[in-house]
Amino acid sequence: MGKLKEFGLAALKGFGMGAGSVTPSVSAGTIALLTGIYGRIIDSLDALSNKKTWKALLSGNIKEFWNLINGTFLVALALGFVVSVLALAGVVGWGLTHYPIITWSFFFGLIIASTVLLLRGLDGLGWTDLIWAAIGIALGIGICCLTPSESPDSLLYIFICGAVSVTTMILPGIAGAFVLQVMGKYEYIINAIAPPVNWPVLGVFAFGCVVGLLAFAKFLKWLMGKWERQTIVLLVGFVIGSLLRLWPYHDMEANRIAQELRTGLPAATVDLQIPGAVISCITGVALVAVIAFIGNRNSKEV
């Protein structure tokens, strides 16, 4: 039962990481960090890019290969991750289409709370930290202002989106889905995942994720080993600056269209849904607090 419990717990944490992946708020890396499995994931990714690992596989030593990559743990994590993405993509897509203010408010609360948690874990901020944070904020604001409202739908661009978003997805502090939002392809990918699945788009995006992940694995291990604090502070600053793209009222035209879709009537003014937005934002904050609490209790179980 011990191994079964370990498998189930890893799958549950994978589900949480998948939820972080489909929402442009809490990153999968943040969930992994809060639930105590971040180090194991980095070690497994590093092993997947190691010659020794693939030499073991090619020589027929399957058991050694499996142990090197921590295969059972990865399978459980991947199972929970995939189930989460498939289950939640349709829900998120529906929410963005019909209730964008409520949905974005929830994401806004998630990212604010996760940012606070990450900063609290740094044991105080010095002047160097503030400089890195300021650089991150400037980059976030700059990218939000420079990113065009229309982005190409070419498969090459989808591949690039996959490769870029997956590298940030596994860094604590910035969500891969958030990067997709900045790159103008978040809702496009969400709609590709939701039934009916757009397999060509999803396949190219997934291939980009695999390539980006394997290419980034060793650099990530080095980066987090040598510059972990600076990296997290920079990413947190980037997220803070990029909150412009998550503000529930950043696209009033989309909110008006959603209101007309809900009511079936032309909308002269947009219902700001302030009480619902506040409740949704608080719910997002509370969810991160619960995840952090569970992570603190169970971080040594897997």
Condensed to tens digits (0 to 9), the pLDDT of residues 75-114 reads 999 898 888 888 887 787 788 888 889 988 988 887 788 7
DSSP character string of 166-203: HHHHTSTTS-HHHHHHHTT-HHHHHHHHSSSP-HHHHH
State whether residue 27 is helix, strand or coil.
coil
Stated as kind and residue range, the H or E segment containing 282 is helix 274-298
**Who's near 154: CB < 8 A, 6+ residues apart?**
none
Question: Where residue 1 falls among pLDDT bands split at 50, 70, 90?
Answer: very low
Percentage with pLDDT > 70 across the chain = 87
Structural domain of residue 36, as residue ranges?
A: 2-298
Tell me the Cα Rg of the chain: 20
What mean pLDDT do residues 109-129 have?
78
Alpha helices in 25-154 (DSSP H): 28-34, 38-48, 51-58, 62-68, 71-98, 100-120, 127-146
> To the nearest whole number, what is the mean pLDDT of the chain?
80
pLDDT of 241 higher than 50: yes
Identity of the highest mean pLDDT range in 109-123, 141-155, 267-281:
267-281
CA 75 to chain centre: 19
pLDDT of 131 higher than 70: yes
* Between 293 and 282, the higher pLDDT residue: 282
Tell me what pLDDT residue 8 has. 82
pLDDT of 282 higher than 90: yes
Tell me what pLDDT residue 196 has. 78
Tell me what pLDDT residue 302 has. 44
Tell me what pLDDT residue 118 has. 73
**How many folded domains does the chain comprise?**
1
Percentage with pLDDT > 90 across the chain = 8
Tell me what pLDDT residue 275 has. 92
Tell me what pLDDT residue 79 has. 92
**Who's near 132: CB < 8 A, 6+ residues apart?**
230, 233, 234, 237
pLDDT in tens, 19-59: 767 766 566 776 776 666 777 888 888 888 788 888 888 88
pLDDT in tens, 190-209: 888 877 788 899 899 989 98
What mean pLDDT do residues 209-221 have?
79
Tell me what pLDDT residue 280 has. 92
Q: Which two tokens stand for residue 73?
A: 């743990």
Cα separation, 210 vs 146, whole angstroms: 28
Residue 183 phi/psi, 5-degree rounding, is -80, 0
Tell me what pLDDT residue 251 has. 79
